[in-house]
Amino acid sequence: MHTINAHAKVNIFLKITGHKEGYHTLLSRFVRVDDLYDTITFVPQECDTFTIEGCEGVALDSNTIFKAYKALNAETGDPDILEFFYKHKVVVEKRIPSQAGLGGGSSDAAAFIRLTNEVCHLKLSMQRLSEIGSTIGADLPFFIYNFPSANVSGFGEVVEPFEEESPTIELYTPPVGCDTALVYKIFKEYYLPDVKPSSFIGWNTLPSRELLRKIDNPIRLNDLYRAALRAYPELENYAKKGWFFSGSGSTFFRTL
């Protein structure tokens, strides 16, 4: 058996910098959550087709791990990948809640890519793995590099490690699921004209704890929060002073 942990993330801040080629560009500080992770295991079993267990309710074609499998096949054409997954199934032990702004699906796919690169001896560089990952989702490059803390920009493909003492993070995920595509759509429709990159110059140079102390306003820190509140007004019932909003939601977090 081969096993890898797929960690959650939070966005200390998330600022939209523009929109081009149909996608939003951003600048964000991603921080890995070390005590919350899914586990991906390749378990020996004869399989007639690519087999995933533990992702019930997600159609295979929509599953980020299956997308990663197809992307690696397309990139390498390596028969060892096909052979390996005829003899192993993928078992996912889910702990990261879905539609929560914690990157669970992206982290699972990135962990799958890293582990497959290792066990199938693909010898692809981290940069190449990141480029493959970025075709599946904007968060994958961060999870592929697996830095404890990083500034992420562009479409998510520019990942620069940020040296800091990683904060201990407490999470609270309310019983509300936020659809990322819907939140971004509402942001584009209502808030994209308000984007002012000059308003957050230098944020990427500040340690996460210091930034949260200095700004202390979850709506100012995360451009998607207003869009999420418009899409899911009930989120306001769960907002608490001193807590911040991760990604497109619905998780709130604070540092300890």
What pLDDT tens digit does each residue of the chain (256 aa) get?
Answer: 999 999 999 999 999 998 887 788 899 999 999 999 999 999 999 999 999 999 988 888 899 999 999 999 999 998 999 999 999 999 999 999 999 999 999 999 999 999 999 999 999 999 999 999 999 999 999 999 999 999 999 989 999 999 999 889 999 999 999 999 999 999 999 999 888 888 999 999 999 999 999 999 999 999 999 999 999 999 999 999 999 999 999 999 999 8
Q: Residue 240: which of 137, 170, 135 has the closest Cα?
A: 170
Distance CA(27)–CA(203), nearest Å, equals 9
Distance CA(173)–CA(167), nearest Å, equals 19
Q: Residue 52: which of 8, 109, 99 has the closest Cα?
A: 109
Distance CA(147)–CA(30), nearest Å, equals 9
Distance CA(90)–CA(102), nearest Å, equals 21
What pLDDT is recorded for position 208? 97
> Is residue 211 within 8 Å of residue 27, measured between CB atoms?
no
Q: Which two tokens stand for residue 37?
A: 């992770």
Distance CA(168)–CA(85), nearest Å, equals 37
What pLDDT is recorded for position 231? 97
Active-site amino acid positions: 9, 139
Q: In what order do the strands lie in the sheet with 252-255?
A: 169-172, 252-255, 244-245
Which residues have C-beta within 8 Å of that of residue 185, sequence separation ≥ 6? none
What pLDDT is recorded for position 148? 97
What pLDDT is recorded for position 181? 93
141-145-146 Cα angle (round to 5): 110
What pLDDT is recorded for position 23? 82
What pLDDT is recorded for position 183? 97
End-to-end CA distance of the chain, in Å?
Answer: 36
